Amino acid sequence: MPKGIVLASGSVHRRELLKNAGVDFTVRPSELDERAIEAPLRETGATPEDVAAVLAEAKASDVSNSHPDEIVIGADQTLALGDTVFHKPANMDEARRTLLALSGQTHTLNSAVVLVERGVVTWRHMAVARMTMRGLDPAFIGRYLAQVGARALTSVGAYQIEREGVQLMEAIEGDYFTIIGLPILPLLKELRARGEIDG
């Protein structure tokens, strides 16, 4: 008998992906301070993939404590350019600096997803996408940010590939769901195997 599914994420994008896939779930975002968890990881030489995995597990485990009889989905995504890890820009000036740094470069999006039951990780998956951004003129970046407005602050790279952000790209290697931040195909496969969704 299905246990019930909880998404431990406040991401509108992840919520929409699950909803559009027909999954019945509730949303209970974790209140953990992600930057506080991430800081010591960087000092130990953790890779961007490690950071995404640890954050996904921490958020799901946190929510699992108050939902012990349900399966909790945790997810996180990091954006890395070489050794530099980027976060969601705090303001438009930071968004501009992010796009200038990514311009003409290939960066990686590392998307981790886990399932946690009673505080224990019972399944995990990592997917990576490589995004090559075309060389962007600073004036174009200004016009782009003026067009997208505050939406630039909701994504780690200051772009949304499903909208105007696709115009920034020269090449993409990886699937759409990984880029959005939830590798949904392997997640659905696992949920079907557990009898949580109709298979």
Tokens representing 47? 């890779």
The CATH code of domain 5-193 reads: 3.90.950.10
CA-to-CA distance for 128 and 75, rounded, in angstroms? 13
pLDDT at residue 137, as a whole number: 95
**Which of the following is catalytic: 24, 62, 69, 76?**
76
> What are the percentages of helix, strand and coil residues in the chain, rounded to 5?
40, 25, 35
Q: Establish whether 33 is a catalytic residue.
A: no
Nearest to 63 by CA among 13, 35, 29: 29
Cβ atoms of 123 and 71 closer than 8 Å: no
Do 52 and 126 contact (CB within 8 A), yes or no? yes
Q: State residue 2's pLDDT score.
A: 65
Q: Please give the model's pTM, rounded to 2 decimal places.
A: 0.91
Cβ-proximal residues to 89 (8 Å cutoff; 6+ apart), any chain: 95, 97, 98, 152, 153, 158
pLDDT of residue 1: 57
**Residue 17: predicted pLDDT:** 95
**pLDDT value at position 35?**
83
CB atoms within 10 A of CB 42: 13
Q: 117 near 64, Cβ under 8 Å?
A: yes
Per-residue pLDDT of the chain (199 residues; tens, 9 = 90+): 568 999 999 888 899 999 999 999 999 999 888 888 888 887 888 899 999 999 999 999 999 999 999 999 999 999 999 989 998 999 999 999 999 999 999 999 999 999 999 999 999 999 999 999 999 999 999 999 999 999 999 889 999 999 999 999 999 999 999 999 999 999 999 999 999 998 8
What residue segments make up the domains of the chain, in order of their start? 5-193
